[in-house]
């Protein structure tokens, strides 16, 4: 059976030759050519025949095909018009796939879910994401608080490590906080370059994000919270006090910043990477309240 799957080097080459398809660097196209890797992704995504799935960037349909086999229905967003006739051909055997020609960053995903899946169906997002646009795509999906149980994506290893990082590590930063505010993040598998065509220059990982029912911390204002987090990481080698002084220049002096830090018992000589999410929320809430009273 494996011979017939799209995700083999031979079949992928045949499809590319048949359609004279050339990879667009600008779209970050790297197609998966290993069925076992795809089955691993599906296993980690918690998909079965009752679940609905959403895919981003189906390419020539390698992952789409496996999703169609293992889940109830697949809705896939493809930005590259040249791939639409190819997908129509490669996925002709499956009647549970809907390909939407759209840029995921512009799409109204909530509306698509409403039109394609019955109320209450468990939905998972699964994708082999283009490296150059991973973060904007994931942040859009997370901020929109879509009715999905999880997001499982193949992304650049370094980015996956940052999203799943713990405090006091080199990978830990504002991106970590942003992703873990909405989800529980875990790197479930590392993937070598050799399972892609063409081979990318970087190693990949499969990242599993399970949606939280509620954020792990209470913040007065989400946008403000993320702004403060970014300010604390603006220059990683600087102390909290110095980064916050730069951020609030002309608004609060160092003394005022020190007072705030002392009031919530956070040492201003620490660096951003040493704070956990609870401490960031206390910090952001304290400054937010102060600004409301100014």
- Residue 212 DSSP label: P
Q: Is 103 annotated as a binding residue?
A: yes
Distances (CA, A) of 269 to 13, 14, 257, 266, 275: 57, 60, 12, 9, 12
Rounded Cα gap, residues 138 and 121, in angstroms: 22
Q: Is 128 annotated as a binding residue?
A: yes
Residue 64 exposed, middle or buried by CB count within 10 Å (0-12, 13-18, 19+): buried
Rounded Cα gap, residues 241 and 211, in angstroms: 33
181 phi, psi to nearest 5 deg: -65, -40
Sign of CA dihedral 108, 112, 118, 123: negative
Q: Is 111 annotated as a binding residue?
A: no
Return the closest-CA partner of residue 185 out of 233, 152, 232, 230: 152
Rounded Cα gap, residues 119 and 171, in angstroms: 38
Q: Is 57 annotated as a binding residue?
A: yes
* Annotated binding residues: 30, 32, 57, 78, 103, 128
* Annotated binding residues for S-adenosyl-L-methionine: 30, 32, 57, 78, 103, 128
């Amino acid at each position: 059976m494996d011979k017939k799957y799209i995700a083999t080097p031979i079949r992928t080459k045949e499809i590319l030759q048949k359609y004279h398809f050339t990879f667009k660097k600008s779209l970050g196209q790297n197609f998966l050519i290993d069925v076992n890797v795809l089955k691993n992704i599906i296993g980690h995504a918690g998909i079965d025949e009752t679940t609905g799935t959403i895919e981003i960037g189906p390419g020539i349909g390698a992952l789409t095909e496996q999703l169609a086999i293992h889940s109830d229905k697949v809705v896939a967003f493809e930005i590259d018009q040249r791939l639409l006739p190819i997908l129509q051909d490669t996925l002709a055997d499956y009647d549970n796939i809907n390909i939407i020609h759209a840029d995921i960053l512009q799409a109204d995903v909530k509306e698509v879910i409403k039109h394609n899946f019955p109320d209450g169906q468990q939905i998972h997002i699964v994708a082999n994401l283009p490296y150059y646009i991973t973060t904007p795509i994931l942040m859009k999906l997370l901020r929109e608080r879509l009715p999905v149980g999880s997001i499982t994506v193949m992304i650049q290893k370094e980015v996956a490590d940052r999203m799943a990082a713990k405090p006091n590590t080199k990978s830990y930063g504002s991106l970590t906080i942003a992703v873990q505010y909405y989800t529980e993040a875990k790197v479930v598998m590392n993937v070598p370059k050799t399972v892609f065509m063409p081979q990318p220059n970087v190693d990949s990982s499969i990242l599993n994000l399970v949606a939280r029912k509620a954020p792990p911390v209470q913040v007065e204002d989400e946008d403000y919270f993320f702004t403060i987090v970014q300010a604390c990481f603006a220059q990683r080698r600087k102390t909290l006090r110095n980064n916050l002084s730069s951020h609030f220049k002309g608004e609060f002096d160092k003394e005022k910043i020190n007072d705030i830090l002392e009031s919530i018992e956070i040492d201003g000589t620490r660096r951003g990477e040493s704070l956990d999410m609870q401490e960031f929320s206390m910090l952001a809430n304290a400054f937010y309240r102060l600004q409301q009273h100014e």
